[in-house]
Amino acid sequence: MSELDSSLRQLASLPVPAGLDLIDDMIIAGFAAQRREASFGKRATVLAGAFALMLGLATGGLVTGPPAHAQAFAPFVSDNPLAPSNLLDVHP
């Protein structure tokens, strides 16, 4: 018989520590707490999304006046207002 076999038999003959009975309950309680936290995160995300949607609809309905129209932008024309030569030019 090897030394490992005798060590394992001695370990098997020892009584089970009392703290091991509590480990299962603590692990299951940890799983339950994690599940509650995850469900709270999902509810908070849905609530934040609904709030953002309602806020957007409310503020969008309050806007009065004509809508703004975008101007056509051609990046390769010579009179581009955002060209480096125009941006670096000193205007009095």
Domain borders along the chain are: 3-65
pLDDT at 88: 73
The 3-class SS string of the chain reads CCHHHHHHHHHHHCCCCCCHHHHHHHHHHHHHHHHHHHHHHHHHHHHHHHHHHHHHHHHHHHCCCCCCCCCCCCCCCCCCCCCHHHHHCCCC
Confidence (pLDDT) at 36: 85
**pLDDT one-digit tens code per residue, 18-69:** 777 788 888 889 999 888 888 888 889 999 999 999 998 888 877 777 877 7
Confidence (pTM)? 0.40
